[in-house]
Structure formats: structure tokens, C-alpha cells
Amino acid sequence: MAGEYTVGDLVAEFLGAIGVTTAFGIASVHNIPMLDAIGRRNAIRFVMARGELGGAHMADGYARAAGGLGVIFSSTGPGAANAVGGLIEARFASSPVLHLTGQTATKFADRALGTVHDAYDQLGMMASVSKAAYRIRSASQALGVLTRAVTEALTPPMGPVSVEVPIDLQRVAIPRPAMLDGFTLPLPAPHAPAAAELDELAVRVAQARRPMLWVGAGARGAGAPVRKLLDRGFVMANSLQGRGIVPEDDPRSLGGLHGNGMPDVAEFYRGVDLLLVVGARLRGHETGDFALKLPENLIQIDADPLANGRTYPNRYFVCGDAALALEGLLARLDGRFRPDPAFQPEFAAIKARARAAFLDSLGAYGGFADQLAKVLPKDAIFARDVTQNNTTWGNRVFPLHDPRQNVYPVGAGIGQGLSLGIGAAVAAGGRRTVVMTGDGGFFLNLGELWTAVQEKLDLAVVVMNDRGYGVIKRIQDATAQGRRFFADLQGPDLAGLAALAGMPFFKVTQADAFGPTIARALEHRGPSLTEVDMTAVGEFPAYYPFNQLRG
């Protein structure tokens, strides 16, 4: 009946009450009441993805660039399954994402009756890839379930949380909950370490003469105390997810040059007498599956108790919020901490030498990072897909200055970059957004290019086109004696594709034209497409670990 307040209305109003201004997804038979309520309220921008996979990645990219909650609406059954890849990546990246999906009518659910989109154990599927998954089982519990779901998504370690809202319940008329007036999420306060833990931490740190930090995504809110520790004599590296916590052009920071495959840096670690790891997983992907030798005197700070010794062994562990722990440490170090004054200059020389050697190993592509840095605004969002260019200079040496600039597939999945970049561009708020992808990854989710066009996003798409799966070819060189089966691709003419989408097109055929061409693309407001013809520029050279092969 017209004028009734339903569970669908509750979902829409709840999202507005917690500050959501943007959501992504696809309208479907099992989510129309919720999306109809969003449309009628006209308070939330709904970005129409071309598929649930792209929509889930967009919600993730939005969460990273905005520093808040991303929201994805999917269809049920096959549609919810389509979102799985995006939820897995959000889980890798600890991105707070709320996944709202429908479900068949309550009386049919879980009975394998073959109703439309009736998946076997959809809730179990969602639970297997999300931090948590819930089903709203009665209209009266809808607000409670939504509150619990979002609170979990935003509580460290953050992650995606899925909620099923059966189609019959979406239409149930309910009294409007009065508690939505002035609603506040019951988020737990950041955990402060105990005084005794911080006292012991300070004792251990005060003994160090050559101390180093390794910071990860869990330390994104700890930039100020990290910089204070650098001012007191620390040096640092960061995980690939922890980039930009301190601007990476700081000579006291290695940034992403944290040693895997870099002999100068690996040798330097032998002289470090304390490694303080803050909010970082020390992931196998970034340490050569733990082959990188880190200092034995390793201390961890992390909000997640499960991080304690999960990868590398430690000598002490402090469970708590990164910023609170480091501020507590700093307060206890006054007059007690005297690092070697020669340590930071030595470190700066190592960084300069390692960076130069690394770029020299990239052949024609060695200048791409500096060319891009020269033309891209310092606050621009740099979104990437898995490509040879990103695995090397994109992840390691292109300087980032803020954590919200850093958007890339943490799980190393191909084809995610364009959608992550679209979500980031929606959140950009005036910042420029560049997404760098390979041709193989670009073609995987090509349809989402029209999402950028429809939304009129300020997004410069750069396709590194080597006409195949370049990363796969390198792996085949290493593991299949160079037999490059099934790695060459035929794709559309990118100039014609850009014309079809109504986008300006630019092309790079010489290495030294990369930066100037991107500068021309950035002069255009709205989506643009740039092709880097890697066949013309030159084959990308083998990089670590593939440059270790012996004939």
C-alpha cells in the first residue's frame, strides 16, 4: 500500500544514517524493493556496474580512496556468486565493504525448490569469502543485523561483510525505527595497549642503535607518530599496502623497495639491530615466500592478535592500535633513545643505490615512474592492475604521498584494476585518478569502461599493451622451460574502442613519450584512454625473480 514504510525503506534510510552517499551494483528481481527505496529517497548516488564482479571491486576501490565504507548491491544466486571475486579481493585488502544481496522468499529458502536464482547454500558461499555473513530472518531484526554487519566491516581487521535480505521481507511494512534519528554505529574504541606492554616495548626499543620500521595498512592512521620516530633516528620500509603513510620521496623511507630481490637492501638488513613491524602482515607475496632474511630482533605491533608470529617469528608482540601504541612508545623514549647518527645517511645512500639499480634493470621502462611522477598531481589516485609495469616500477618506485592514493589488487588477481579505479574515481573528490592496466586485464572487464563513461568520471585509463599475458609468459619462462602456451591475445583496436565509447584516445610508441602523452590525457576532464604500444617501445625485460634464471 502506498505510503507504507518497509524493510526496503529501512535499508535505504539506514545507509544514509551511517553516512553512505554512494553505492554500486545492479538492479535485480531480488533487490528491487531496496533499490526502489534508494531511488525514491534520492540521497545516495547509485553507480550502475555492468556486472556484480565489477561492482564489488568498485565498492572496494571506493572504500580505499574514501577511507570509509563501500557498498555493493548484487542479485541473488548467480549474481551473488559473480560478486565473490570482488569480495575476496576486499578481504585480502581488509577493505570495509557491505555486500547487500537478496534471497528467495523465506518460505522457499534452503529447500532446493528451484525458484529463480535459488543457489545452494548462498549464505555459506558468502561466509566463505567474507569476514562475516548474515541473513535477515525477520523484519523486526533487520536494523540489528545491518548494524552488526557494518560494525564488523569497520572493526579492525576490517573486511567485507555480506547480508542477505529475502525478497518477501524487503516488502514487509514495519514501523519506522525511532532510533534512526541521530543514529550512531556502536564501533569499538581503538584498543590501547596496556602500560606494562608499552614500558617493555620502550625498554627494547631504547637499546637499539640501528632501528627500522616496517609499516603496513594497519598503520594508515599512524602517519604522525611514524614521522616522529623517523625524526628520532628510525628508518623505514612499508608493505605494498602500507604505501604513502610517509611520503615515499622521503630519504628515510625505502617505500616499496623493501628488499625482495634487491641484494643491497637485503644486505643492509643484516646491520639492522631492531625491526619494528607495525600493522603489516609481512606477506609471503612481498618477501619471496619468506625467503627474504629480516632482522632477528623483530617486534610486532598489531590490532589483530592473530598477527602474532603468523609469518616471521618475533621477540615481542604488542596488541593494539598502531597510532596509540606508537604515541605511547614515543612518550617513553624521551632521553633514553640514542641511535647511531651515521645510520640515516647510510640508509639514504642504500636507497639511492638500490633505486638506481632497480630502474636500470627495467630497460626502456626504467624512466616511466619518473615521467609519470612529473606530470601527475601529487594527490592523484594511482590505481593499477597486475601488469609487469605495476609489479616493478608501479608498486616499487612510483612515489606515493598518502595511503588513499594507493589502489591495486592486493591478492594479485588480474582484471581488477579498471573496476577498482572506477570506484576510486567516484570517491576522488576533485583528485585526478589514473588506472594502469595490461591489455589482458583490461579485456577481462572491458564492459565496465561504459560505467566510467555513463558516470562521466575523471579517469585516465592507461593500457600497457603487449598483446598477451606478459606476467604469465614470465612465469612460463621460469616453470615451463619457456613454453609460452595460451598467453597471446587478440584484442580490439584500442583507438576504435575509444571512438566507440566517445573517449579521447592517445598512443605511446616511444619510451620518452610516456610522460608527455599522459600529460595530454590529463588535460581532458572526463574518461580518456591511452595505449602504450609495448611492441613498439620494446619487450619488457625479465624482472625478479625471473631475471635469476640460468641457461
* pLDDT 10s digits, 324-377: 999 999 999 988 999 999 999 999 999 999 999 999 999 999 999 999 999 999
Query: Which domains, from first to last, does the chain contain?
Result: 7-180 (3.40.50.970), 195-353 (3.40.50.1220), 361-548 (3.40.50.970)
- What value does the mean pLDDT take over residues 109-120? 72
pLDDT tens digits, residue range 432-462? 999 999 999 999 999 999 999 999 999 999 9
* Mean pLDDT, all residues of the chain: 95
| pLDDT, tens only, 491-510 | 999 999 999 999 999 999 99
pLDDT band at 551; cut points 50, 70, 90: very low
Q: Output the nine-digit C-alpha cell for 396.
A: 616499487
Angle, alpha carbons 369-440-480 (nearest 5°): 95
What is the C-alpha to C-alpha distance for residues 529 and 382, in angstroms, rounded to an integer? Answer: 15
Dihedral angle computed from the Cα positions of residues 187, 190, 191 and 192, in that order, rounded to the nearest 10 degrees: -150
Low-confidence winner among 50-54, 110-114, 133-137, 449-453 (lowest mean pLDDT): 110-114
Q: How far apart are CA 197 and CA 102, in angstroms?
A: 46
Does residue 475 have a pLDDT over 90?
A: no
Q: Is the pLDDT of residue 205 over 90?
A: yes
Identify the pLDDT of residue 412: 86
Report the pLDDT value the prediction gives residue 116, as an integer from 0 to 100. 65
Amino acid at 186: P
Express each pLDDT in 3-42 by its tens digit.
799 999 999 999 999 999 999 999 998 899 999 999 999 9
pLDDT of residue 137 exceeding 50 = yes
pLDDT digits (tens, 9 = 90+) for 212-240: 999 999 999 999 999 999 999 999 999 99
For 381, list phi and psi in degrees, rounded to 5. Answer: -85, 130
Residue 549 pLDDT: 57
pLDDT given at position 482 = 87
Average pLDDT of the residues in 60-70: 98
422 bridge partner residues: none
The closest alpha carbon to 505, from 523, 529, 532, belongs to: 529
- The gap from C-alpha 376 to its chain's centroid, in whole angstroms, comes to 20
DSSP string, 223-235: HHHHHHHHHTT-E
Closest alpha carbon to 85 in 60, 116, 118: 60
Q: What is the DSSP string of 88-153?
A: HHHHHHT--EEEEEEES-TTTTTS----TT--TTHHHHHHHHSSEEEE--SGGGHHHHHHHHHHHH
Q: What is the pLDDT at residue 1?
A: 44
* Cβ atoms 70, 427 nearer than 8 A: no
Q: At 376, which amino acid appears?
A: L
475 by Cβ neighbours in 10 Å (0-12 / 13-18 / 19+) ranks as middle
